[in-house]
Structure 1
Amino acid sequence: MLARRTLALSKTAPVLATPANARNMATLRELELRLKSVKNIEKITKSMKMIASTKLAKAQRAMNAGKEYGAANAELFNNAQPESTPKRQLFVVISSDKGLCGGIHSSVSKATRRAIKENVDGESAVMVIGDKSKAQLSRAIPKNLVLTFNQIGRDIPTFADASAVADLIIKSGVKYDVVNIVYNKFVSVVSYESDTKHVVNEQGLKESPGFKAYEMEDDVTKDLAEFALSNAIFAALVESHACEQSSRRNAMDNASKNAKDMIGSLQMKYNRGRQAAITNELVDIITGASAL
């Protein structure tokens, strides 16, 4: 009985009308907050673009100097090809600890996964420089991951960084016939591509036809293999660092342009909503004055 009476009262009770401009005002407030947020993001991306542009110039100079190490290594191993195909391969993946730089991390991760699938008959151990590619490869190939490095290349990489990495690789106890260094190759300021450097071990140098023609002591070949590995890692580190700064600059430039376009669109919507609210208020005022 009480429920019926309540229902009857609810049907006869007057419905409170919502102000016509209530929704417009809420929408305008939301647009205003979003517009302010996008403007703040634009300021941040512009600042990051300027910083990356400054770092890119330094990174390119370091890359040009470091390429001489890579050229010397390439000349060495062109004459030191092993007679048999190496089965135990070690992949050293070079990325960085920082993000907001496009697809440089996924580029080397994909190249590593493809190379491991091709090496179906041999062993493939993976060592990663940088936390970003480490996170990607630990999900894709966790069984192959044996060693990781971080806090390398926060600034321009040095030969001391490369030597420390090479020393840890040698002391890790991982057996390999060849080291495949997977890195990003600098093509231009706006493009890069994944590439691989190959470095054979001490035994591979001894057995190569180019080195069999000379009589060398064991210590000489061992030191040469270790020094060549450091050279190759250093050349790849500085080139990857230049690619990272270039990609971050381009990413922040694109983000700034997108923010600018979004600001223009939101500003137009805000102006239209504000104009509509003002027009409704004027209509209400004129209607009330006419009624009086």
Structure 2
Amino acid sequence: MASGNMKVIKRRIKSVESTMQITKAMELVASSKLRKAKEKADRARPYFNALYDTMCEIQAENPRFLSPFTRKSGEGKSLLVVIAGDRGLAGGFNNNVFKLAQARIDELGGRDKVDILPIGKKAVEFYEKRGYNLMAQYQNICESIKIVEAEEIAESIVEPYIKGVYEREELFYTEFVSPITQTAVSKQLLPVEFKTELKKSKALPIYEPSAGAVFNHIVPRYITGMIFGSCVDSFASEQASRRNAMENASDNASEMISSLSLMYNRARQASITQEITEIVGGANSAE
């Protein structure tokens, strides 16, 4: 009986050790991808921050100028851009951004009031399964996204807004705060929101042909930057979340192996004790 238990425990230990090797490998891969994604995001951020500051300066210096990108939204249909991962095994990474987006969908009046533009395989699967109307869909692009690809997505977002198809457009993704902390956030894409406070420059810039024309030219590029930055940020968050999940899984596997090894040793000791008892018993009966 003890011998049978030992075989079961030994098979279980080998199985957990195999799983632990996989989780350790995934943890290392996620760490490597996380470092590269963070560097990519840090390189791109200053340029697009400068674009946003320029838009804010134009608006502050020309508060009465009109632009299709600043018109006030009404009660029409909304477009939600939701960025999730392309793979699972990342803890609550995907579910957190889906919950945030769902709360906003409920505020806007339900699925009939929104269209979804999902980015990431998990986002596409999530909203297709639940019957949402998908304006477009993009999969497997966040890891190696380029400005050209972000610009293509931005064009598909900006054009229907200018035509009046959507009254507002919002972005949902996971912001990389630190390797330990990743937060699901939402940002308004259109109409453009401005900073409440802005430091005035010493010399007022002159915009040619006009401030409004420059502003309208900058906005699509700014939207491109938001898409690019959020995709890179989301991918970095996904890798950080996966690394943390795999690290926890490896730790749990290590604890399980220790517990199983203790059980195995006890079963082995019980088997040895039983064999000694049987030998002693046999020797006594032979006398």
Q: What interval of TM-score do these two structures reach, taking the shorter chain for normalisation?
A: 0.7 to 0.9
Partner secondary structure for residue 91 of structure 2: coil
Distance 1:127 1:88, change over 3 A: same
Query: What do the CA deviations read for 1:83-120 (whole angstroms, capped 9, x no partner)?
Result: 45564321000112111111111111111111111112
Moved more, 79-88 or 234-243: 79-88
Residue 169 of structure 1 deviates from its aligned partner by: 4.2
1:105 counterpart residue number: 94
The one-letter amino acid of 2:262's match is: M
Q: How many residues align?
A: 256
Relative to the length of structure 1, the TM-score reads 0.78
Residues in 2 aligned to 1:89 and 1:68: alpha-carbon distance in whole angstroms: 29
RMSD of aligned Cα (Å): 2.7
Residue 246 of structure 1 deviates from its aligned partner by: 0.9
Residues in 1 aligned to 2:176 and 2:27: alpha-carbon distance in whole angstroms: 19
Q: Does residue 1:118 correspond to 2:107, yes or no? A: yes
The one-letter amino acid of 1:257's match is: D
Residue 278 of structure 1 deviates from its aligned partner by: 1.2
What residue ranges of structure 2 are gaps of 5+ in the alignment?
60-68, 194-209
The correspondence for 1:62, drawn from 40, 57, 75, is 40
1:257 counterpart residue number: 251
User: Retained in 1: the 8 A contact 2:55–2:215?
Assistant: no
Partner secondary structure for residue 188 of structure 1: coil
Higher Cα radius of gyration: 1
The correspondence for 2:183, drawn from 193, 201, 205, is 193
Residues in 2 aligned to 1:195 and 1:120: alpha-carbon distance in whole angstroms: 20
Percent identity between matched residues is 31
Distance 1:236 1:280, change over 3 A: same
The correspondence for 1:131, drawn from 118, 121, 128, is 121
Partner secondary structure for residue 177 of structure 2: strand
Distance 1:43 1:49, change over 3 A: same
The correspondence for 1:230, drawn from 190, 215, 224, is 224
Residues in 1 aligned to 2:37 and 2:19: alpha-carbon distance in whole angstroms: 26
Residue 135 of structure 1 deviates from its aligned partner by: 2.6
The one-letter amino acid of 2:127's match is: L
Q: Does residue 1:160 correspond to 2:154, yes or no? A: no
Q: Does residue 1:95 correspond to 2:84, yes or no? A: yes
The correspondence for 1:178, drawn from 149, 168, 178, is 168
Residues in 2 aligned to 1:165 and 1:83: alpha-carbon distance in whole angstroms: 23
Relative to the length of structure 2, the TM-score reads 0.79
Partner secondary structure for residue 132 of structure 1: helix
Q: Does residue 1:29 correspond to 2:29, yes or no? A: no
Residue 145 of structure 1 deviates from its aligned partner by: 3.3
